[in-house]
Structure 1
Amino acid sequence: MDNPAQHRSGTPGEVFGAFLKLGLTAFGGPIAHLGYFRDELVLRRRWLDEAAYADLVALCQFLPGPASSQVGFSLGLLRAGPLGALAAWTAFTLPSALLLVAFAIIAGTLEGPLALGIVHGLKLVAVAVVAQAVWGMARSLTPDRQRATLAVIAIAAVVLLPGAIGQIAAIVLGVIGGLAVCRDGAQAPVSVTHFPVSARAGWSALALFAILLLGLPLLAGVTNWPGLDLFDGFYRAGALVFGGGHVVLPLLESETVARGWLSRDAFMAGYGATQAVPGPLFTFAAYLGMLAQSWAGAALALIAVFLPGFLLLVGVLPFWNRLRAAPLAQAGMRGANAAVVGVLGAALYDPVITSAVLTPLDMALATAGFVALIVWKAPPWVVVLALAIAGGLIGLMG
């Protein structure tokens, strides 16, 4: 059946406004962003239902690139077409990109206990937001013993296997488990999510992805243009990373520090600043591009690192509904959705809790943020502000 939300089309302006709010307040990295998206666009605005959102998250977990930005791009495309997708990406990405470019200009002057305390407070925000996402998605996506068990298996896969390999393995195991134990009622009607992308456009996007991946190194070698060389390096980093966020950092380091475009100290300083700004972690590329080649480099790096993930996403979307409407695919997606809950649960512990909760007071503040979101229904920006202030005060008293 059609998703009722799909009959209420939006405008690029509406999408821009919704994602600008998220781009200004969505702290905590890609897993936390999925929680913000769910709260704002699924629960509050009802652009799509919970099941369709979980399917979309599972799809983006499979693809290389920034998973949370791919989900946001898809939601903008769903709501207002290609211009909506562009509006979603621009609004969600621009605030953090501009902040990081500014930091590249004034790097070295923002130090001291207050700044460090605020950064730590923002990490505690991520604990509360991810915990809220795990709580809400577990209740709706793991309602029985079979799917709860698949979520636990997904946690084990993420814990036992390193990096993005564990996340991909968790989703694959979820699909296999869903085919085995979630086939009852697999032919029940599901919401059909209509993305305005034709099959021809999908195949064209996949072809362009491959052409750029293979052709850019050759073209950069022939032309010796620094801008093209930079675009090639960041495009390759975005194309080859699974899991997004922190996983892209080693690739970016090899494409920048190893080439002598900036020092390792400058790289790490920018990485620290990235933790203190909202929006996608891939905007770290803007900081690196700014140091490498000024404003033009920042723009080229930012576009290049996001582009391959979006091309792959557009290439897959035209065939998504046909696949997920098949009974076996429905069963597999039930398992995949349960696995997504497991992946979120594992991420709640590591890196979210392990990097943020260092003292009993940290645990108390993170719990207070969680209660504010779940029980008091506080807007996320209020929790962001409160915990950032608390972290700053603790840093000063420190």
Structure 2
Amino acid sequence: MSLRYYIFLKDVLLLALTAFGGPQAHIAMMFKLLVEKRRYLTEQELIELNALCSILPGPTSTQTLTAIGFKIGGPNLAYLTLLVWILPAATFMALAAVVISYLQGQGVSLGFLKYIQPMAVGFVAYAAYKICEKVIHTKTAVALMVVSAILAYFFHSPWVLSAMLIAGGAVTALRFKQHPQEKDKHLHIEWANFILYVAVLVVAALLGAYTSSLPVRLFENFYRNGSLVFGGGQVLIPLLYTEFVDFKGYLTGEEFLSGYAIAQALPGPTFSFTSFVGNLAMREYGIAGQLLGSFVATVGIFLPGTFLIFFVIRFWDELKKYRVIRASLEGISAVSSGMVVAAAILLYHPIESSPLNFSIVVGTFCLLMFTKVPAPVLILTGLLLGFVL
């Protein structure tokens, strides 16, 4: 492996240990480190890669970084990029889940987490605002955002959410003539990674349906969610809550929100929160079972997006020349923003509806909005207040 690849992986590790704040903040750091400082790619190339990853299911910033690794050094460097990026946060979230389940087993109250639960809702509300600010620029986008927020609030099925994204893209794709036409389009598609993606989805679904093995079923659950989530980690949260808290009862609402708040205090991909969920889902099997739960959850959630970015990146330069593809981005982004708005409301439901909790949600939002206090400082302050009070 060349020296340039080692330097790139060192830069990826630096991002994994310092990139707080979710996909939008991750992209800003990629501009600073990978474009301005290292010049691995141009600013326009990064914007286009991020747009591509926004229309694919899976973790947006993870796919963007993997795609950059692919452009620099091919599949092998891309796989190493993925591993270096997700390992620190996923490992920490697994350890956090083990500690929480141990404390519960010892009869220790988790009351010290009571303040960071409403803070987590404030983080999601802020994410909703920032996403809307970035992608909502037309009346059509406003309408799509409002409708998708209402539908996502009342209908939690992954299939409904996926259908909304497709419909939103179709609505704005009709206005493709507003985009300039490009010539010399030569689209050649290699289907291997897409076939692999579908094959794993089908096999996982069949095994999940006909086995009593919880790790197998968890892998299917997370692989399916990773295949259906458009718009990054904020959109994933309501899906996970509906499936693992409301439907299957693997976690309580308080545990879920505590884990999500901890994830907000960590750098790296938001999807690493799944390591926490998978861990607690396997708590009846001891520490070894919990670590296995973290492993299958992490692999399951990141694998679909990896297959898809490996599939699309090979012909993306030609695909983006089509006006319909460029036009559909507006609708997909608007629907995604509506889903995050709905998530902020849904995640408030399991918290006790008190003036204090509501004030914490609003206060967290305002601190993120109007100050530069880092997310980890807010979460650590919430934990400290929980211990003291």
Q: Tell me the TM-score normalized by structure 2.
A: 0.71
Please state if 1:365 is matched with 2:350.
Answer: no
CA positional deviation for 1:55: 4.8
SS in 1 for 2:371: coil
Question: Gapped runs of 5+ residues in structure 2?
Answer: 35-42, 70-77, 184-188, 230-235, 264-269
Q: Distance in 2 between matches of 1:350 and 1:74?
A: 27
Amino acid at match of 2:223: A
Q: After superposition, what is the alpha-carbon deviation per residue over 1:92-114, rounded to whole angstroms, capped at 9, x for unaligned? A: 211011121233344333634xx
User: What's the counterpart of residue 38 of structure 1?
Assistant: 24
| Residues 1:87 and 2:84 aligned together | yes
Q: 1:327 Cα deviation (Å)? A: 0.7
The residue correspondences of 1:1-398 to structure 2 (distance < 5 A) are: 11-21=8-18, 36-39=22-25, 41-46=26-31, 52-53=49-50, 55-60=52-57, 67=58, 70-80=59-69, 81-109=78-106, 111-112=108-109, 115-116=110-111, 118-181=112-175, 183-185=177-179, 187=181, 199=190, 202-203=193-194, 205-206=196-197, 209-210=200-201, 212-213=203-204, 229-241=213-225, 242-243=228-229, 244-245=236-237, 247-248=239-240, 268=252, 274-275=259-260, 277-278=262-263, 280-283=272-275, 284-289=277-282, 291-292=284-285, 294-295=287-288, 297-317=289-309, 318-319=311-312, 321=316, 322-351=318-347, 353-356=348-351, 358-392=353-387, 396=389
Single out whichever of 199-208 and 381-390 deviates more from structure 2.
199-208
Deviation readout 1:352-383 (Å, 9 max, x if unpaired): x4445723333333333223222222211122
Q: Which runs of 5+ in 1 are unaligned?
A: 1-6, 27-34, 61-66, 190-197, 258-263
Task: Provide the aligned length of Structure 1 versus Structure 2.
Answer: 340
* Contact 2:128/2:340 (8 A) holds in 1: yes
Structure 1 distance, partners of 2:51, 2:312, is: 17
Cα RMSD between the aligned structures? 3.9
Does structure 1 conserve the Cα–Cα contact (< 8 Å) formed by 2:116 and 2:382? yes
**CA separation of 1:356/1:90 partners in 2, compared to 1, >3 Å: closer, same or farther?**
same
Residue 11 of structure 1 aligns with an amino acid whose one-letter code is F
SS of alignment partner, residue 277 of structure 1: helix
Over the matched positions of the two proteins, sequence identity in percent amounts to: 14
SS where residue 167 of structure 2 aligns? Answer: helix
Check 1:44–1:319 CA distance in 2 against 1; reply closer, same or farther (3 A cut). Answer: closer
TM-score of the two chains, using structure 1 as the length reference: 0.70
- Report deviation, 1:17: 3.4
Q: Distance in 2 between matches of 1:372 and 1:248?
A: 27
Asked whether the 8 Å contact 1:19–1:88 carries over to 2, the reply is yes
Change (3 A) 1:20 1:184: same
How far apart in 2 are the matches of 1:285 and 1:339?
Answer: 28
Aligned residues of 1:147 and 1:338 also touching (Cα < 8 A): yes
Q: Give the whole-Å Cα distance in 2 for the aligned partners of 1:315 and 1:127.
A: 31
**Contact between 1:58 and 1:340, CA under 8 Å: does it hold in 2?**
no
